[in-house]
Amino acid sequence: MHRCQTDRATIARQTRLYLQGTIAILRAGDETMSGHVLFSGGQPSGDPMSQTILVTGASSGIGQATARLLAERGFTVFGTARKPDSAKPQGFTMLALDVRSDDSVRACVEQVIAQAVRLDVLVNNAGYTVTGAAEETSVEEAKAQFETNFFGSVRMANAVLPSMRARGAGKIINISSLAGNTAIPYSAFYSASKFALEGYSESLWHELRPFGISVILVEPGFVNTPIGEASPVAARPLAAYDAPRNRMLAAFGHALERGIPPEQVARRVLQIIEQKSPGLRYRVGAQANWLPRVRNVVPWKVYAAGVRKTFGV
């Protein structure tokens, strides 16, 4: 019995040291790179300032920062919001768009092409999360997140593809998340929608390559945006989850406060647009860089314990 306990203690200690060493190495690598690129192969794109770009969800956060930066760099930029009149002027044209509606998506894309003649880049950014345990979240709430976070991107892609295929060029940039690689507790359906976006985008990459159209995933870690403040809580909370849910909300809020600025994600999007042949996946921020890699090299129980500790669950 004593030997068994000793062996377990030794294994646990070795695992902790291995995990700490791996994280240290990966973090050291992040000091020299703000975004990790997977499946890269980019070359500078010619005459970028003649391009027209459509950014969804541009009233705040990553979408607003991206649209503003691109407009400052001389691109023709259209941003969208469900209520564009309430958005502050940012130096780009704001259009009304509800990505949950086929008619709204079609009208928005037609308006852009009518005004700018062509559409070179689509940035799918619109999205939100409902916080709550999976059991607390109704099927309707789960479907609503998928309608915006996943099917909204599908609708937008389908709307822009005919004109891109006709020209034999274009970029579709889907803003994913760390949650698309590493599921976050009490955000099951947000994570699931981002996992779906990852799989869809990878398939689309293969399908559109023969037409000269690039599909790119941008995977930020925690970003200091209003998404946490604006996130609704599941409508039917259960007392059994109150304590861990509240701890998770506090931890999540703290992580967002310490997160990267949305301008860092915007700069990565700009770099992608300026590349002639961008890669498939771009990770932005320290967490997005090293957490998925740690998950692949340490035992699941060790990794899961770290996630639970991080989010207080």
Could you confirm whether 153 is annotated as catalytic?
no
**Length of the chain as a residue count:** 313
Proportion of the chain in helix, strand, coil states, percent, rounded to 5:
55, 15, 30
Which residue of the set 153, 194, 201, 282 is catalytic?
194
Q: DSSP of 13-61, one letter per residue?
A: HHHHHHHHHHHHHHHHHHTT-SEEEES----BPSSGGG-EEEESSTTSH
Residue among 221, 219, 216 at smallest CA distance from 275: 216
**How far, in Å, CA of 288 to CA of 282, rounded?**
9
Which of 144, 84, 73 has the alpha carbon at shortest distance from 111? 84
Q: Which amino acid is at 6?
A: T
Q: Which of 59, 187, 191, 214 is catalytic?
A: 59
Exposed/middle/buried for 279, CB within 10 Å: 0-12, 13-18, 19+?
A: middle
Active site residue 83: no
Q: Is 50 a catalytic residue?
A: no
Strand partners, 171: 121, 214
Q: How many whole angstroms separate alpha carbon 105 and alpha carbon 97?
A: 6
303 is catalytic: no
Token pair, residue 91, equals 């130096």
Marked catalytic residue, from 171, 177, 186, 190: 190
Q: What does the alpha-carbon distance between residue 283 and residue 34 come to, in Å, rounded to a whole number?
A: 8
Q: Between the CA of residue 250 and those of 101, 184, 287, what are the distances in Å?
A: 34, 14, 18
Phi, psi (deg, nearest 5) at residue 77: -120, 130
Catalytic residue among 176, 177, 187, 214: 176
CB atoms within 10 A of CB 250: 12
Nearest to 53 by CA among 213, 171, 204: 171
Report the catalytic residues: 59, 176, 190, 194
